[in-house]
């Protein structure tokens, strides 16, 4: 009888262990450490722009000193919550490129029409291949990329003023040669 109970209990314990390990991995703060990303080049790609449907490549990052890449999808609830902050950043002159992840083109366009469009360009990645090459964990996720195509900061989760101030703004200051306090 005891072996039957153990046989029934073992799968439940394994599932609980997997859930605990996944939660620990998602809460790992190492995935936002800019030092872990220095000198990592953005992967080469050729996809289409969400809006114009023209080809777009990694050269989209060569236009500005620094570009914020925001990985998002119309089906992502948290992406919709961070959207007003992206609009605020865009109004402050931050160059933002979107990476529309595993989405339907019309759904993504409709969301931008309804909520506003903070992006100078949106890379349409319907199969998620570029996101996979980049190492995207999930949506939303944001990267700071230099004009040379080097990733200097990354954050997995919704972009907020605190995240911007703590992670991305210092990276921009360092890139511009501004010394911290």
Domain range list for the chain: 33-175
Percent of the chain with pLDDT over 90: 73
Could you give the CA distance from residue 123 to residue 165 in angstroms, rounded to a whole number? 26
Could you give the CA distance from residue 29 to residue 74 in angstroms, rounded to a whole number? 26
User: What confidence category does residue 176 fall into, taking pLDDT thresholds of 50, 70 and 90?
Assistant: confident
Percent of the chain with pLDDT over 70: 77
Superfamily of domain 33-175: Glutaredoxin (3.40.30.10)
Q: Average pLDDT of the chain? A: 87
**pLDDT score of 177:** 82
Specify the residue for token string 């903070």. Answer: 118
Cβ atoms of 141 and 154 within 8 Å: the answer is: yes
Kindly tell me if the per-residue pLDDT of 158 is higher than 70. Answer: yes
**pLDDT score of 32:** 47
For residue 148, what are the contacts with CB-CB under 8 A and spacing of at least 6?
A: 62
Count the alpha carbons within 13 Å of 131 in the hemisphere toward its beta carbon: 24
Model confidence pLDDT, tens digit, residues 102-149 = 999 999 999 999 999 999 999 999 999 999 999 999 999 999 999 999
For residue 163, what are the contacts with CB-CB under 8 A and spacing of at least 6?
A: 142, 155, 157
**pLDDT score of 13:** 60
Model confidence pLDDT, tens digit, residues 14-52 = 665 554 544 555 444 444 444 444 468 999 999 999 999
Count the alpha carbons within 13 Å of 3 in the hemisphere toward its beta carbon: 0
Question: Which residue, among 147, 101, 96, 143, has the nearest Cα to 120 in the 3D structure?
Answer: 96
**pLDDT score of 178:** 77
Interhelix angle 77-91/105-115, rounded to 10 degrees, is: 50
Question: Which residue, among 116, 48, 35, has the nearest Cα to 83 in the 3D structure?
Answer: 116
Q: What is the pTM for the complete model shown?
A: 0.79
């Amino acid at each position: 009888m005891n072996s039957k109970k153990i046989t029934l209990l073992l799968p439940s314990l394994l599932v609980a262990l997997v859930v605990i390990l996944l939660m620990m991995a998602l809460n790992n703060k190492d995935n936002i450490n800019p030092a872990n990303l220095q000198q990592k080049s953005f992967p080469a790609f050729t996809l289409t722009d969400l809006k114009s449907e023209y080809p777009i490549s990694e050269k989209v990052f060569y236009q500005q000193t620094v570009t914020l890449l925001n990985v998002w999808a119309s089906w992502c609830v948290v992406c919709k919550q961070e959207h007003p902050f992206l609009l605020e950043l865009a109004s402050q002159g931050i160059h933002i490129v979107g990476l529309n992840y595993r989405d339907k083109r019309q759904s993504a366009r409709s969301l931008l029409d309804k909520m506003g469009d903070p992006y100078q360009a949106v890379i349409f990645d319907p199969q998620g291949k570029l996101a996979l090459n980049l190492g995207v964990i999930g949506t939303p996720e944001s990267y700071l990329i230099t004009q040379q195509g080097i990733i200097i900061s990354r954050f997995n989760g919704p972009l907020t003023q605190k995240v911007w101030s703590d992670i991305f703004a210092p990276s921009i200051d360092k890139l511009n040669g501004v010394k911290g306090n």
